[in-house]
Amino acid sequence: MQDRGETFLSTATVRETIENHYQLLPTTETTLGPSRYYRMADSQSRIGFISPHSHNFCGACNRVRVTAEGRLLLCPGK
């Protein structure tokens, strides 16, 4: 089994990597979920970041996901 710590990339690291190529502008857009959205300055593209490890949002999360093993999780942070 692989240790998640070996493959973990923080939202800040991912955002910095993207911002090396594209300017990201924070928005107030919401889908009523835990994502924090940014717009690309030169297009209509939008990207949302979910940061369960650094911004605990489990109490307000309305998302579910299925793991590679087939388990249903009610929150990406769990």
Instruction: Give how many domains the chain has, as a whole number.
Output: 1
67 burial via Cβ count (<10 Å: 0-12, 13-18, 19+): exposed
Residue 27's pLDDT is what?
92
Angle 57-54-4 (CA atoms, 0-180°, nearest 5)?
A: 110
Residue 40 lies in a domain: yes
Taking 80 as the threshold, does the pLDDT of residue 21 lie above it?
yes
Model confidence pTM above 0.85: no
Residue 18's pLDDT is what?
92
Structure tokens, 66: 């299925």
Domain encompassing residue 49: 4-73
Residue 60 lies in a domain: yes
> Average pLDDT, stretch 29-49?
85
Taking 80 as the threshold, does the pLDDT of residue 47 lie above it?
yes
Mean pLDDT for all residues in the chain? 78
